[in-house]
Amino acid sequence: MKDKTKGVKLCVKIVCLLCLISTSVGCLGARETDQLAFVLAIGFDKAENNQQEVTITIANTLAFSSTGGSGGQNAASYETVSVKAPSAWETGNLFNSFNSRELAYMHTKVFVIGEETAKDGIEKYLTAVSRFREARGNSSLYICKGKAKDFLMNNKPVLETSPAKQIELVENTSKIIGYFPVTTVNNFLKGLKDLHSSPVAGLVGIHKTDKDEQVEKLLRETTDPLQEPYYAGAVPRTGGNKAEFIGTAVFKDDKMVGVLSGSETRTMLLLQGKLTSSMYNMTDPKHDNFNIAINLRQARKPEIRIKHEADGLKIEETVFLEGEFVAIESGENYEGIETKRQLEQAFSREVEKQAKELIAKTKEQNYGDIFQYDRYYRKELATWEEWKNLNWKEIYDQTEINIICKTNIRRPGFLRQTLPILRAEEK
Amino acid sequence: MIREGKFGFAEGVSLLLISNLATIYLVEPSVAIELGKNMAWLMALFTMAVMLLQYWIIVSLMKRHQGTTIIEASEQLVGPYLGILCNLLFALYFIIEEAILIRRYGEALLTAALPTTPISVIMVTLTLAAIISCYYGLETIARVSRISITFILGGILILFVAVLNYVDVTNFYPLWSMNPLKIITEGQYKLLILSEGLLAAVIFHSFGNWQNCRSVGLVAISASGIIRTILILLLILGLGVELASEKVLPFFNLSRLVSFGRFFQRAESVFLLTWAMVGFLKLSITLYASTVILARTFRLQDYRPLLWAVSLLCFSVSIIPPDVETIGTLNLNYFTVWGLIPTIVLPFLLLVVSLVRKRERKQEDTSEAGNH
């Protein structure tokens, strides 16, 4: 009897072990990396005859392999292809009609949406990204001046092997220059669904090699170094990667309604409290032919006060900038306490003027509130219903907004004063 | 006599805390935000207070019947027929809870991590894990809970700290935006269900004494309530009311936000492990409770022979709903509402009967003493 029980126990143990062994081979849905084509970037465009055109950039994992087998090291590190179909999601199937590997979206770093598509509304694309298990809400979102397909096809990063790394590093430069906002799918949806203000997204474009009338016009008209009127695709330059990241696409609900230039974007980020740092250039107040360069960062979050006055709502925002001199071309002694204070005040007035102009532009062009002042106006409300039914656009258009800039140039750099050239002084 | 073993304060807290935390990984936080908007965090605090009150009622009942569990107590109080009916209702509650949880956890794992695995494979795995745990007994489950709670709480804490970066405090406003009465009447009651009170009354012997049972439950429910409140607060401040209300697995969505620099990203699989731990333990505890209630009701010497039958019943019930939406609706519109009967109404009625009986007995004793 004892032997029989022992035998049954042994059988049970063997069955359990076999079950364990069978599970150790991996889950049923396991996919090896050499079975997958990792999509790094996706572009959405409108095509003719009501078709959608989707462009994808796929990483070539062979190019990154250390062994270099199958000539992998000489292969291009990525491939960009596009497909047209009546539905953007149908293109996913068509990609696999000429691709040996299953498309995987877990490493998709960026979604680029063409200008025309953005003008028609982008919510349908973004909610699909939110819903889809593989896609990530913290992937970047950019609007392309022109077609997303052109951007992805012509984007040839010179310093990076992978466009995903390129995007990550380019986004770091936004923290240094402040000429484009870094927007993720989640951020955009949050602005779109949770706020009444107008959502924004970073603007990208492809540099035009032939002479562009618009660029020429901007070059002729730009005299103030504090203004940077360029936007993606219109930066006056020669050489380098054709892809450009500068400017902002402004949305009304989910439809694109306009663009902001580089310096306007910087002002927007400053008023939103999201400007990390930027190099500001201004004309020397004492010498018109010379410029001053100051590296400034947002010292702390802006102070925003909302006042209900007899003549209507008033918003007063104080922004704080601090930093150091980079260049004083004229050699004027701005390092001194009094002269520095005068310069700081002159600079602050210039920033306030820029902010005022941008606010006026948003009202004239009917952009709505791109600074998200409604986030602060929430405190004034009592119920959720009030917040839900708020006509913020109308309130914003009628509100007087005053911007106060406080600049503190804390350090002169490595020079404590600029002495004149000796012979020049003798003359 | 069913031997359940005894465990200490830490094991007891871990067991009840894990059991109470199980729903934060599912859709419940989203539902709470949908109902309470930006005041959902206050709703979570209110829920915690009501749960503490529910637990207090059950402990007060058990205080009067210290040598027994709620199964024997109900028979003593309302007689064998009504008592058995009462106990069958308790068992039915845990069986349905187990069935719903198997399906919901299965669907959640499928949605988040194993999209091509058949649902039946996941559900069988979950059920088998629960059977094996129950076979080893309550003491083992409690000790495993004690070991796991460090990782579970650690994971939750790390997540909470990691998403602080995404917090926007303006999402907190408009303050006091919702009418509390309206929230309660429109659906707060769906979030009030507490199975841990009944569970504690079923495994009352294992706590040693009623004071230990009381403090274990109060600590576990308070800790769980605070974690739930912080989670809801972070969802509101991090994602915003509208976006957070849309999510099927808000905890998982929050963990997908975690990112430190270029290298520490996609950490949700780490949090998925803590989530799976809680799921497995919750299913084991619930299966144990349902089986033990039946065994005690039918005066069986051991609950183990019932494990296969009860788990098969749970599995069969769980596979009936055709889709996630149906199981969600069944859970929120029916189970959480009707479940209030065995978890709070019946224990409260039993407490009332116990109080009345005691008073009657006292009166009888005084009249007998007067006659003498």
Can you spell out the DSSP letters for B142-167? HHHHHHHHHHHHHHHHHHHHHTGGG-
Contact flag A381-B257 (C-beta cutoff 8 Å): no
B84 falls in which pLDDT band (50, 70, 90)? very high
Q: What is the mean pLDDT of residues A101-125?
A: 92
Instruction: Tell me what percent of chain B is helix, strand and coil, each rounded to the nearest 5.
Output: 80, 0, 20
What ipTM did this prediction achieve?
0.85
Structure tokens at B147: 């070991």
Mean pLDDT across B97-106? 95
β pairing state of A110-114 and A140-145 = parallel
- The phi and psi torsions of B202 (rounded to 5 degrees) equal -75, -35
Nearest to B240 among A28, A194, A376 (CB): A194
Q: Confidence band (pLDDT; 50, 70, 90) for A98?
A: confident
Contact B259 A138 (CB under 8 A): yes
Contact: A378, B266; criterion CB under 8 Å = no
**How many interchain CB pairs under 8 A, A with B?**
68
Instruction: Return the DSSP state at B323.
Output: S
* Most confident listed range (A5-9, A86-90, B78-82): B78-82
Predicted local confidence at residue B287, as pLDDT: 96
Euclidean distance between CA atoms A162 and A40, whole angstroms: 9
Residues of A in contact with B246 (CB under 8 A): 130
pLDDT score at B251: 93
Share of chain A above pLDDT 90, in %: 48
Determine which of B34, B110, B170 to mutate to test the interface with A (most A C-beta atoms within 10 Å). B170
Interface test with A, best of B166, B243, B257 (most A CBs within 10 A): B243
- DSSP classification of residue A210: S
Cross-chain Cβ contact A186/B176 below 8 Å:
no
Those residues whose C-beta lies under 8 Å from the C-beta of residue B33, and which sit 6 or more positions away, are B40, B232, B235, B236, B241, B244, B245, B250
CB contact at 8 A, A299 and A321: yes
pLDDT at A207: 86
- Is pLDDT above 70 for A251? yes
- Mutate one of B239, B245, B265, B269 to test the A interface: name it (highest A CB count within 10 A): B239
CA distance A296 to chain B (A): 23
List phi, psi (to 5°) of A200: -130, 160
Is residue B263 scored above 80 in pLDDT?
Answer: no
- Per-residue pLDDT band for B1 (boundaries 50, 70, 90) equals low
Inform me whether the pLDDT recorded for A5 exceeds 90.
no
Q: Which residue of B has its CA nearest to A384?
A: B177
Residue-level pLDDT at B327:
92
Asked if pLDDT for residue A69 goes beyond 60, the answer is no
Q: Is the Cβ–Cβ distance between A143 and A113 less than 8 Å? A: yes
Residue that has been written with the tokens 């069978």 in this structure: A22
Query: Which tokens sit at A265?
Result: 């974007």
Chain A: give the shortest CA distance to residue B175, in Å.
Answer: 7
- Split at pLDDT 50, 70, 90, the class of A423 is low
- CB–CB of A378 and B176 under 8 A? no
Pairing of strands A200-206, A140-145: parallel
Are A138 and B37 inside 8 Å of each other by CB? no
- pLDDT tier for residue B140 given thresholds of 50, 70 and 90: very high
SS3 A296: strand
Q: How many helices (H) and strands (E) does chain A have?
A: 14, 13
**Residues near A123 by Cβ (< 8 Å), separated by ≥ 6?**
A192, A253, A254
A60 three-class SS: coil
Whether residues A382 and B257 touch (CB distance < 8 A) is answered with: no
- Contact criterion met (CB < 8 Å) for B175 and A379: yes
Asked whether the predicted pLDDT for residue A15 surpasses 70, the reply is yes
B243 touches chain A (CB under 8 A): yes
Mean pLDDT comparison of A57-61, A67-71, A252-256, highest-scoring range:
A252-256
Per CB-CB distance under 8 Å, the chain B contacts of A383 are 174, 177-178
The A-side interface with B (CB below 8 A) comprises 27-29, 106, 130, 133, 136-138, 168, 186, 189-190, 193-194, 375-376, 378-379, 381-384, 386-387
| Cβ contacts of A373 on chain B, cutoff 8 Å | none
Measured between CA atoms, the residue of chain B closest to residue A19 is: B125
Range in A73-82, A142-151, B315-324 the model is least confident about: A73-82
The predicted model scores a pTM of 0.89
- Could you report the per-residue pLDDT of B219-238, keeping only the tens digit for each? 999 999 999 999 999 999 99
Closest C-alpha among A152, A153, A140 to residue A111:
A140
Average pLDDT over residues A319-329: 92
Flag if A381 and B176 touch (Cβ within 8 Å): no
| pLDDT on residue A101 | 87
Mean pLDDT in chain A? Answer: 87
* A165-222 per-position pLDDT tens digit: 888 898 888 889 999 999 999 999 999 998 999 999 999 999 876 666 776 777 777 7
